[in-house]
A and B are shown apart, each in its own frame.
Chain A
Amino acid sequence: MAVADTASSVPGADFFLKGESGRNTRGLLRLIILCTIAAAAIAARLFSVIRFESIIHEFDPWFNFRATKYLVANGFYKFWDWFDDRTWHPLGRVTGGTLYPGLMVTSGAIYHLLRFLTLPVDIRNICVLLAPAFSGLTAFATYLLTAEMSDSPSAGLLAAAFMGIAPGYISRSVAGSYDNEAIAIFLLVFTFYLWIKAVKVGSIMWGGLCALFYGYMVSAWGGYVFITNLLPLHAFVLICMGRFSPRLYVSYTTWYALGTLASMQIPFVGFLPVRSSDHMAALGVFGLVQLVGIAEWIRPQLKSQQFQTLLLTSVLVIFLVAFGGLVLLTVSGVIAPWSGRFYSLWDTGYAKIHIPIIASVSEHQPTAWPAFFFDLNMLIWLFPAGVYMCFRNLKDEQVFIVIYAVLASYFAGVMVRLMLTLTPIVCVAAAMALSQILDTFLVAKQPTEPSSAQSNGSAKGPSDSKDKLSSIIPESLRSTKSPLVGIYSYLSKSLITGAITCYLLLFVLHCTWVTSNAYSSPSVVLASRMPDGSQHIIDDYREAYYWLRQNTEPTAKVMSWWDYGYQIGGMADRPTLVDNNTWNNTHIATVGKAMSSREELSYPIMKQHEVDYVLVVFGGLLGYSGDDINKFLWMVRIAEGIWPDEVKERDFFTARGEYRVDDEATPTMRNSLMYKMSYYNYNTLFPAGQATDRVRGSKLPAAGPELSTLEEAFTSENWIIRIYKVKDYDNLGRTHQDATSFEKGNKRKKAGKRRGARVLRVD
């Protein structure tokens, strides 16, 4: 950091800064700076814990938390083959084989370590604070990676400081965000560091360590495919540039052989590394490296131009044949084609058309420009400069930075969520650019001017005697001297340094502001401001979940849209039908169909699935826009994908193509179960005829919907969560519609003796 440089340029402290003790001082300073960065990284992530409470935030972390609790309570082996019968109700979920266990095992290990040290910490607190702790490690790993890249002593520390507080990374790693990314980014950066180290040194040990951390990364996050494709691409580009070296052979083959085996140990990954197209690049480059290695081995033994070309062509031919074989195998189906999630990165329109469930997630949208500036502030304009500087001094590791930067920029442009993988390289490249500037402008040392002191831009004017002296020296001699090119004026140095310092301070300010305002709000509790500025907390979610937990049977099945599956499982501890792990699209479509159909249709569906309670989220009273009516169209679309002739999206729009909930809503909309459940009894809150929906901003029809197959069981304080109980079959065997109308007594008045068309009884 700048501190280190300014300290090293103070003239009076020569004893501490030169020689042996100087190295020690620098090491100590470096250590102190790194510890400070780690502390800042941790502290910046604690806003939500301090403001609200130590609680798990989003949807996905609730499952991770539940799995961790299971691991801690039952031990590793039971966790490894855990069949979870409390999710996906009729089906269940083989959890051990369908999750990445790295996160849970890490926090379980920390839990037991702290127990061993006689510090009994609750597992919830470990889970909440895991991401901040690992962000400190990420800063350290970034320091190591950048120190490998750049000769400058300050680049690593700058990169660590950037990585510690960059909002692009904080957004996924605040305290309470117990998601896979919490440890994955650390593993990503550290794996890259080990890879760079392996390529530089060419040792099996670094390659093996890289493979081990790659295996850890595979066990932690599905984004490991990024590494699986980036390292082969790096090797491939190096080969194409003619930079193949024995070091590359050693590091790449060691990494691939050990890393592939390591990744196959994870049950969720299984045989994918040999069976799926996502991993074929690594295999292909492995083969290519072997061929090139053999060719390079034979080449010095045959000193002929012709034979070299022969070898080169044979390598090329074998490569092409192998590539063709790969394509053939993919076409014939032996190797699985690209999975939908990855394919949608290339064909950006694919998900919207074919897999609505991927397109329905808000994180899978393209990124807007302001998001880059919001998440990375000044780093985003230093980033291209850093990449450009890599070209100026192109070594093996700089090639890696260039490739990583290009790929990650593309992916971050396609998907908001992948901003996360872009952040490390932006920090590294920006730190390299900035450290170059600082190295140039922060050195106060004046060069010992040779006799010909016509140095450019020098502040002190050359004296006359020196001028005379230089005129004596012949031109030929002068040209042999190295000219003094550089900036030696204190004014320009201090100006530039001051500007950079201002930018750095503004960056810190921006990061803190963004973290505090945008990324530190738990989604479980909604915070709002009262007119007098005091904070008002809306805690309807937990109110409703705890009602479920305490007032229903432990085996009561709850049907809700999949967004809330993990939270119901985690907080209410009740079995659910679908949850955020969207592995069975048809089952989700079933729930979507039940929500979007008339009661007569959805009641049998719910009965078939043994549903006891139905939970909907309704924000109409409070103006909470993320409610189920706004998500309703996705339910319809997903259901329509499976039953196109029973659920039609067109029926939910008015004749003019509007999506409305008021008087002009279509009959299909008003008869759908979701509409009825959301607005049931809602007009009783208002004077007659004045019921308004504050999210949609529309007046509701005077007569509210009536429910016959469900009864209202619970509605939270602000009407955000409404829970309905599914009625049992009618005692007399009537349909519920008949029963309710009989209760009301508004039918059969003048039915008389007329007999309906009935069929004969069949026994």
Chain B
Amino acid sequence: MPPRKPTSPSASHPASAVKTPQTTTRATQPKTTSRTSTTTPSIKNAQDAQQIALGVWNNYLNHTPQRVKLIDFFMAFLILVGVLQFAYCVLAGNYPFNAFLSGFSATVGQFVLTASLRIQTNPENKREFEKISHERAFADFVFGSMILHFFCVNFIN
């Protein structure tokens, strides 16, 4: 799995990963509030909603650390693969159902595990996960992925 590689540096240097986003989020907090407060009173029409989405997107691009973006890219890739598999299943039928299930649940499971890693390494959630360091989160992620892939390979026959 190539996309797993870029995630590893994110966890291997947790100290830097912790510091940078914390400062940035603190700094940008007022900015986002001001933007949304101007738009929210009238989100009845589609243009404002579009503006909000655009605002969220810009906010995301500006204030997400590089490693988290890599994780997100991997998650987007997994969604794409899952959607493709599902579309193929709808188009071509599900004859080897176990093969479809194992492929599809591999993407779903990997997505979920990656999301969990993203949540655990997110500095905003530091209060929730006091006992889990970033290295521990990554090792857990590897452990979960190993189990997942063992079961998938076993199930695909």
Contact = CB atoms under 8 A, between A and B. Distances in A.
B86 to A, nearest CB: 13
B46 interface: no
Interface in A341-358: none
Contacts of A246: 119-120, 122, 125, 128-129
Contact of B40 (A205, A212, A304): A304
Interface stretch (A53-61, A252-260, A637-645, A687-695): A252-260
B43 A306 contact: yes
B76 to A, nearest CB: 13
A301 B56 contact: yes
Interface in B102-157: 102, 105, 108-109, 112-113, 115-117, 119-120, 122, 124-125, 128-129, 131-132, 136-137, 139-141, 143-144, 147-148, 151-152, 154-155
Contacts of A212: 147
Interface string A299-314: 0111111110010000
B59 interface: yes
Nearest to B120: A250
B140 A201 contact: no
B155 A258 contact: no
A452 interface: no
Interface stretch (A14-22, A109-117, A261-269, A628-636): A261-269
B101 interface: yes
Interface residues of B, number: 45
Nearest to A298: B56
B32 interface: yes
Interface in B11-39: 32-33, 36-37
Interface string A174-212: 000000000000000000000000000111110110011
A373 interface: no
Nearest to B25: A300
Contacts of B137: 203-204
A701 interface: no
Contacts of A257: 105, 108-109, 112-113, 148
A391 interface: no
Given A261-B109, A303-B33, A253 B116 contact: yes
Contacts of B33: 303
Interface string B47-76: 000001000100110000000000000000
Nearest to B60: A301
A254 B112 contact: yes
Nearest to A205: B140
A303 B101 CA distance: 40
A253 B113 CA distance: 8
B77 interface: no
Contacts of B36: 302-304, 307
A406 to B, nearest CB: 28
A209 B119 CA distance: 19
B140 A261 contact: no
Given A202-B132, A204-B143, A246-B129, A254 B43 contact: no
Contacts of B56: 298, 301-302
A545 to B, nearest CB: 40
A245 interface: yes
The interface size bin for chain A is 35 or more
A258 B132 contact: no
Interface centre among B41, B119, B122, B139 (most CB of A within 10 A): B119
A132 B151 CA distance: 32
A207 to B, nearest CB: 7
Interface string A680-707: 0000000000000000000000000000
B41 A306 contact: yes
B88 interface: no
B93 to A, nearest CB: 14
* Chain B, interface SS category: helix
B131 A201 contact: yes
A274 interface: yes
Contact of B128 (A204, A247, A254, A300): A247
Interface centre among B32, B98, B105 (most CB of A within 10 A): B105
Nearest to A262: B151
Contacts of A201: 129, 131-132
Contact of A306 (B40, B102, B129): B40
Interface centre among B40, B112, B129 (most CB of A within 10 A): B112
A67 to B, nearest CB: 22
Given A257-B108, A307-B40, A310-B43, A205 B143 contact: yes
A730 B59 CA distance: 94
Contacts of B60: 301
A264 B101 CA distance: 10
A76 interface: no
A247 B120 CA distance: 8
Interface in A280-306: 293, 298, 300-306
A211 B113 CA distance: 13
A302 B43 CA distance: 13
Contacts of A742: none
A675 interface: no
A249 interface: yes
B144 A204 contact: yes
A166 to B, nearest CB: 34
B61 to A, nearest CB: 12
A271 interface: yes
B82 to A, nearest CB: 12
A202 B126 CA distance: 12
Nearest to A304: B40
Contacts of B129: 201-203, 246-247
Given A247-B129, A249-B119, A261-B155, A304 B37 contact: yes
B40 A264 contact: no
B32 A301 contact: yes
Nearest to B139: A205
Given A246-B129, A258-B148, A303-B37, A204 B59 contact: no
Contact of A204 (B101, B113, B125): B113
Contact of B113 (A254, A261, A265, A304): A254
Name the 10 nearest CB pairs between A and B, nearest first.
A257-B109, A304-B40, A204-B140, A261-B151, A253-B112, A250-B116, A303-B33, A205-B140, A204-B144, A246-B119
12 contacts: A204-B113, A205-B139, A205-B140, A246-B129, A258-B148, A258-B151, A260-B105, A302-B40, A302-B56, A303-B37, A304-B40, A307-B43
Given A205-B139, A261-B148, A302-B40, 15 more contacts: A202-B120, A202-B129, A204-B116, A204-B120, A208-B147, A246-B120, A249-B119, A250-B119, A254-B144, A257-B108, A262-B151, A264-B155, A301-B32, A303-B37, A307-B36
Interface of B: 32-33, 36-37, 40-41, 43, 52, 56, 59-60, 97-98, 101-102, 105, 108-109, 112-113, 115-117, 119-120, 122, 124-125, 128-129, 131-132, 136-137, 139-141, 143-144, 147-148, 151-152, 154-155
